[in-house]
A = this chain, B = another copy of it.
Amino acid sequence: MKINGTAYRTIWLSDDGWSVEIIDQTKLPHELVTARLATMEDAAVAIRTMQVRGAPLIGATAAYGVCLALREDATDEAMDAAIAHLAEQRPTAVNLRWALEEMRKAIRNLPREERVAAAYRQAARLCDEDVETCRMIGIQGLRLIEEIAAKKEPGEPVNVLTHCNAGWIACVDWGTATSPIYQAHDKGIAMHVWVDETRPRNQGASLTAYELGAHGVPHTIVVDNAGGHLMQHGKVDVVIVGTDRVAASGDVANKIGTYLKALAAKDNDIPFYVALPHSTIDWRIDDGFKIPIEERSSDEVLKISGRLPNGSVVTVEIAAPGSGAGNPAFDVTPARLVTGLITERGICPASAEGLINLYPDRV
């Protein structure tokens, strides 16, 4: 998508034809900085330190990490070591392991002298496929937005509420939850997005607001507490969120707080959609409450980073000294609260039947 008029992806090949450039997301929203990855370890560090984040983008970065490793040593041993090392940087990200296995399949039966070129081709293919998948999610979701827009006065915006960042900077381009929004905006439909701040890491206020603003989509940041009130007062037409994992039953694991918004949407008869690529469906789990929920550091709750008036970025403690914090990172929204799942193949009910009808091949 665009940043101040210039089209970007989150990851791309440098002009030298072999090293990789990324948007360093640890610097957002305070600065737009790109970083260059020249070794496999650079890629590993970028994943671990969250210079790149979002399941699809982590997978793409790991794929290029394999390319960078093979440039130095194209043996089976080096390939296996690189894949193992990259996989362990974020142990819960499903897409990371999936992308690494796709790389292994593309390389392992090739002679060593062909491996580097094949790896770069495969990494580029994974990135392009992610872009196409996200674009198709947008095309599918666009229909919903067009239906809402058709019932409004001309120019009256469609109000979408979203939680966390399931945007293009979590993917390679377009995003998942944001893709229908960008498609609608680019088509000239008046859009307005309520951006949940998304404590504790504030991905909404810092990343979603940043990317919507950079692409020119009107939006308003609200604290996570505000969404229910906005829905009670008719200020939300539809909720669209992303997901970290969808159970085969249609239950949705996503950023902590998603469940509360789903309850409020239900209570106010507002449609609640979840946007996802097929790779997010976990066919092995038939109950969302079996999805393990990561408990993260209390520091994410007790401290926060921000800009001082002089522009420098500092971290401050915000809570009562001596008080501890709990920090579950995700929650599970039961399928009964989800109006539908927006995938690259179409929109289906959040149910075992809905999913299997859309994915009889269980890709």
A 196-237 contacts with B by CB, 8 A = 197-200, 202, 205-207, 209-210, 212-213, 219-230, 232
A38 within 8 A of B: no
Q: Which residues of B contact A314 (CB under 8 A)?
A: 308, 314, 316
Beta-carbon nearest neighbor of A324 in chain B:
B220
Q: Which residues of B contact A230 (CB under 8 A)?
A: 326, 328
Among the stretches A46-54, A82-90, A121-129, A256-264, the one at the interface with B is A256-264
Q: Which residues of B contact A302 (CB under 8 A)?
A: 205, 221
Q: How many copies does the complex hold?
A: 2
Q: Which residues of B contact A210 (CB under 8 A)?
A: 320, 323
**A interface, over-half SS:** mixed
Asked if B304 and A226 sit within 8 Å, CB to CB, the answer is no
A306 within 8 A of B: yes
Asked if A225 and B205 sit within 8 Å, CB to CB, the answer is no
A 257-283 contacts with B by CB, 8 A = 257, 259-261, 263-264, 267
In-complex Cβ contact of A328 among B209, B226, B255, B316 (8 A) = B226
Asked if B318 and A305 sit within 8 Å, CB to CB, the answer is yes
Q: Which residues of B contact A209 (CB under 8 A)?
A: 319-320, 323
Known interface pairs A263-B264, A306-B304, A326-B220; A226-B256 also in contact (CB < 8 Å): yes
Q: Which residues of B contact A228 (CB under 8 A)?
A: 257, 259-260, 263, 331
A293 within 8 A of B: yes
A303 within 8 A of B: yes
A13 within 8 A of B: no
Q: Which residues of B contact A321 (CB under 8 A)?
A: 29-30, 307
In-complex Cβ contact of A219 among B317, B318, B323 (8 A) = B323
Q: Which residues of B contact A226 (CB under 8 A)?
A: 256-257, 326-328, 331
